């Protein structure tokens, strides 16, 4: 999907619908270019497709180098739920159509196989990422936008999709112009960056500075803000595409490391009590119940207690208490009540 379309759709999702945790779709699907529809080419393509899927499902770009994964790849045909051949324009925009194999793998079978290998699965609820990218050319600096620099945004978007996350690009309209400037991003001034980012309601804010420092050398400098943390890194390469891809790879590596630190409970499914206060009407109750049941880390939701002041939910999950709390925090539905000794939340306005 082109950045213009993604930006518009995300704008609608953010401002005209409830902002549930960003549940990434298509994690168990992949498309591979093939030269023909023969069985031999299909077997190779299915293995390549499963390799792509495992990276998205785990978030680990090196997953296919790990012990035990090679046996899964050799059995790729056993995990196929459906597949079809389709024709599409090639990436260079020429009129020639190329043949592709689209594959949908069995989610439960893959999850079970990974768990049997002791490999962690990254939940579908993943942090949403807003990207402010500034490029420098001939000493002129400007925001990379969907009107003039589509190819750069496509590179970022494609790499993020391959790693199992979605990016949001700012509208760069008058409202953005009034709150943030190119100088703010280039100078890494956090206050205007975070203030301008509030309208997009994302979990993560990524800024990038992209420039050609020598005729044969490109550089990108990155800074990420999430959960009151700040981190930065630099990528260099002779190829512009690579420094952009490496920026996204490093971002996802950090997100996977952070959000996977709080993993499974190490035991069978457990029941976790969660109290939500200040529910004013049946619509708010329905919204909360629907949100909790939508979480991948929650297997079942029951209501234990209802009072005028609060509702106590019982969540069945194979995640730890901290893991469930983290999954809930990714959405803009419930906020944790500070100072409470238990899982206590209130509905965000």
Helices (H) and strands (E) in the chain, counts: 11, 14
- Residue 163: the pLDDT is 97
- Residue 227: the pLDDT is 85
- Residue 143: the pLDDT is 96
pLDDT category at 73 given cuts 50, 70, 90 is very high
- Residue 325: the pLDDT is 87
Name beta bridge partners: 223: 207, 232
Question: Residue 69 class from Cβ within 10 Å (0-12 exposed, 13-18 middle, 19+ buried)?
Answer: buried
Torsion 118-81-158-91 (CA) sign? positive
Summarize the confidence of residues 118-132 as an average pLDDT: 91
Backbone φ/ψ region at 339: left (φ over 0), alpha (ψ -120 to 50), beta: left
Residue showing tokens 């400037």: 181
Confidence check: pLDDT of 11 > 50: no
Mind listing the pLDDT tens digit for each residue in 179-205? 999 999 999 999 999 999 999 999 999
**Whats the size of the chain, residue-wise?**
349
What the block records as the tokens of 181 is: 């400037």
Report the C-alpha gap between 88 and 100 in whole angstroms. 7
Phi then psi for 213, rounded to 5 degrees? -85, -20
Summarize the confidence of residues 137-142 as an average pLDDT: 91
Confidence check: pLDDT of 91 > 70: no
Phi then psi for 168, rounded to 5 degrees? -120, 135
CB 343 within 8 A of CB 325: yes
- Residue 327: the pLDDT is 86
CA distances from 67 to 153, 197, 219, 297, 317 (A): 35, 41, 34, 26, 28
- Residue 267: the pLDDT is 56
Phi then psi for 171, rounded to 5 degrees? -70, -25
Confidence check: pLDDT of 265 > 60: no
- Residue 154: the pLDDT is 95
CB 117 within 8 A of CB 68: yes
151-165, 187-201, 244-258, 288-302: which range is least confident on average?
A: 288-302
- Residue 301: the pLDDT is 95
Mind listing the pLDDT tens digit for each residue in 312-339? 999 998 888 888 888 888 887 898 998 7
Confidence check: pLDDT of 261 > 60: no
Mean predicted lDDT score pLDDT of the chain: 88
138 vs 153 pLDDT, higher one: 153
Q: How many CA atoms lie within 13 A of 311 on its CB side?
A: 20
- Residue 16: the pLDDT is 34
Report the C-alpha gap between 127 and 23 in whole angstroms. 9
Summarize the confidence of residues 143-168 as an average pLDDT: 93
Query: What is the side-by-side strand order in the sheet with 29-33?
Result: 29-33, 97-105, 80-89
Summarize the confidence of residues 121-149 as an average pLDDT: 91
Residue showing tokens 């500034």: 134
Torsion 230-234-239-242 (CA) sign? negative
Summarize the confidence of residues 123-148 as an average pLDDT: 91
Q: How many CA atoms lie within 13 A of 52 on its CB side?
A: 23
Q: Which of 126, 119, 130 is nearest to 66 (CA)?
A: 119
Confidence check: pLDDT of 247 > 60: yes
User: What share of the chain has pLDDT > 90, as a percent?
Assistant: 67
- Residue 292: the pLDDT is 93
Name beta bridge partners: 168: 130
CB 127 within 8 A of CB 226: yes
- Residue 22: the pLDDT is 65
Confidence check: pLDDT of 57 > 90: yes
Summarize the confidence of residues 131-149 as an average pLDDT: 91
- Residue 241: the pLDDT is 96
């Amino acid at each position: 999907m082109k950045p213009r379309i993604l930006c518009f759709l995300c704008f609608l999702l953010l401002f005209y619908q409830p902002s549930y945790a960003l549940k990434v779709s298509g994690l168990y699907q992949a498309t591979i270019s093939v030269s023909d529809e023969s069985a031999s080419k299909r077997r190779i393509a299915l293995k390549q497709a499963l390799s792509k899927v495992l990276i998205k499902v785990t978030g680990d770009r090196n997953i296919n180098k790990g012990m035990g994964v090679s046996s899964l790849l050799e059995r790729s045909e056993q995990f196929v739920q459906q597949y079809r051949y389709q024709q599409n324009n090639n990436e260079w925009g020429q009129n020639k159509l190329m043949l592709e194999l689209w594959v949908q793998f069995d989610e439960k079978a893959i999850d079970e196989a990974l768990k049997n290998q002791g490999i962690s699965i990254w939940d579908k609820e993943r942090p949403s990422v807003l990207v402010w990218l500034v490029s420098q050319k001939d000493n002129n600096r400007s925001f990379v936008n969907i009107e003039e620099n589509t190819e750069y945004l496509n590179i970022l978007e494609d790499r993020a999709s391959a790693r199992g996350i979605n990016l949001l690009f700012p509208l760069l309209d008058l409202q953005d112009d009034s709150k943030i400037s190119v100088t703010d991003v280039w100078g890494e001034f956090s206050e205007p960056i975070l203030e301008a980012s509030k309208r997009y309601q994302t979990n993560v804010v990524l800024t990038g500075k992209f420039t050609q420092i020598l005729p044969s050398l490109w550089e990108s400098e990155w800074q990420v803000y999430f959960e009151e943390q700040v981190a930065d890194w630099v990528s260099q390469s002779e190829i512009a595409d690579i420094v952009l891809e490496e920026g996204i790879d490093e971002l996802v590596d950090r997100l996977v490391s952070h959000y996977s630190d709080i993993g499974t409970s190490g035991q069978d499914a457990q029941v976790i009590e969660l109290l939500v206060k200040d529910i004013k009407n049946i619509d708010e109750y329905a919204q909360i119940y629907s949100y909790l049941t939508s979480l991948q880390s929650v297997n079942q939701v029951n209501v234990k207690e209802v009072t005028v002041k609060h509702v106590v939910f019982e969540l069945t999950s194979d995640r730890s208490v901290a893991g469930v709390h983290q999954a809930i925090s990714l959405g803009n539905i419930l906020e944790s009540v500070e100072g409470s000794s238990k899982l206590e939340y209130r509905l965000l306005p």
